[in-house]
Amino acid sequence: MYLQGTSHCILNEHYLNLLLRPKRIPFHRLHLSDGSNFQLISTGNYNTFESGPDFSCAQLKIDGIHWVGNVELHVRSSDWYTHGHHHDPAYNNVILHVVLIHDKEVFVHGKALPTLELKSIIDLEHLEKHKPNIKVSIPCGSLVRAQKNLPFFSLVAPTLVQRLTRKSNTERLTTTDSMEWFYSLIARSFGGKVNETPFELIATEVPWHRLKTMEPNQRFVSIIQASGLYPVFSIHNPTSEIIPIESYLWKRKGQHAYAQPEKRLAQFAALMSIFPDDLSFAQLDAYAIVKYFSDLFNDTFSQHGILHQIKKSYLLNTILINAVVPLLYHIQRHSTALALLQSLGPEDNYVIRHFKEIGVSPRHAGESQMLLELHKQFCTAKKCLNCAVGTHILVS
């Protein structure tokens, strides 16, 4: 039995997300509301907490044309206006509107937004079966909790190499300059998942090869100006070649006070103002690398008087895990990268907390990285039969 003809809402956006992320929708049988053919290539990145479109960097083809942008989910297409998205520039780059019921045409930039209606293919039996699990992050969580002496981290150990290989893959580099790439990694690390995009755009607008030619104070000002958070810098520098990014790209919802964009931006600008133009630290051992960056952080933030604004250990670990380790792995210093991860404390985020709830607690950053890769590549996609933990449970 399907929802065709249903006039009232019986499900929410969490269920639509459950179907869309692992592509559990027969897209090959569907057309857009205007009859256009389309192909979903990638759903992109799911926006877990922050305001803004549900998915970013999605890719699809509409009548043969390749589109890259955001995807928004709604129960009814009219929710676009009910939620006020037509007043929010963050939604101007939405390329696909996925809805249960298409009850109102939505216009962006004066053109009808491509819309995919799902009411004709939603199975009521499937919906009722999965209602209790709509928000379950780890499908086999209850089974893992019930298992005794489950060698969890031994089973998922290969995911760490998979993650490091993926993050350091040379095919992902947009430049052959390792220092330029490392600079971009540091920028994204300062942004975290929430503000990764605006920080990466800053690194693009003020690339390292340009930044390294500037004096420390000029570096600091250039990064601040590129952020778009302080328009006064552009007003006072009308001839500057730097084009500030759009301020709406910065997200604040759910961010701790020490991680707000303005503070992270000041820290990044301060660090880059004196950052050395070489990667000689990569030849050190894991302990010496930690000391190198710890001293660099202390010197940088003390000079700029912003030490009190940060949780230094958290930020230091973030840079080491997400920038230094991929660099080490990329230049074939695999054992040092692994030793560095094992020397750092485990990460603490919503994914790790979900694993802790089922009795799986990482002891160091290497194990927390395993869990993040496991969740991204297997749990989210519900690839339980391809997961070492899933198959172990099935045969035990």
Listed residue (183, 224, 228, 219) closest to 204, CA to CA: 183
Cross-strand bridge partners of residue 69: 58
Contact of 274 with 216, CB cutoff 8 Å = yes
Listed residue (301, 317, 318) closest to 309, CA to CA: 301
Listed residue (93, 86, 105) closest to 47, CA to CA: 93
Domain boundaries, the chain: 13-133, 152-386
Element (H, E) at 372: helix 365-374
pLDDT of amino acid 7: 41
Tokens describing residue 39? 């192909």
pLDDT of amino acid 32: 92
CA–CA separation, 261 vs 366, rounded Å?
Answer: 28
pLDDT of amino acid 137: 73
At residue 94, the 3 state secondary structure works out as: strand
pLDDT of amino acid 309: 47
- Please state the φ and ψ torsions of residue 342, each to the nearest 5 degrees: -70, -20
CA–CA separation, 388 vs 366, rounded Å?
Answer: 18
At residue 73, the 3 state secondary structure works out as: strand
**Residues near 390 by beta carbon (within 8 Å), at least 6 away in sequence:** 140, 378, 383, 384
CA–CA separation, 251 vs 156, rounded Å?
Answer: 33
pLDDT of amino acid 2: 43
Tokens describing residue 202? 């800053």
Task: Report CA torsion sign: 57, 262, 267, 270.
Answer: positive
Tokens describing residue 243? 């084009």
What's the average pLDDT block by block, 10 residues per block, for the chain (396 residues)? 44 62 69 89 74 83 90 90 88 90 91 89 62 65 88 95 86 70 95 89 94 93 92 59 87 78 92 92 95 90 62 83 95 95 93 93 97 91 88 86
**Residues near 23 by beta carbon (within 8 Å), at least 6 away in sequence:** 40, 43
Task: Report CA torsion sign: 67, 70, 73, 74.
Answer: negative
Contact of 114 with 90, CB cutoff 8 Å = no
> Dihedral through CA 375, CA 378, CA 382, CA 385, nearest 10?
-140
- Please state the φ and ψ torsions of residue 298, each to the nearest 5 degrees: -60, -45
Q: What is the b/e burial string over 141-176, where b = at least 16 CB atoms within 10 angstroms of the residue's CB?
A: bebbeebeebebbebbeebbeebbeebbeeeeeeee
Q: Exposed, middle or buried: residue 131 (CB in 10 Å: 0-12, 13-18, 19+)?
A: middle
Residue 2 per-residue DSSP state: B
Residue with structure tokens 């998942």? 193
Listed residue (58, 67, 63, 75) closest to 21, CA to CA: 58
pLDDT of amino acid 6: 45
Report the 10 Å Cβ neighbour count for 190. Answer: 25
Residue with structure tokens 């990667």? 279
pLDDT of amino acid 305: 65
CA–CA separation, 5 vs 7, rounded Å?
Answer: 6
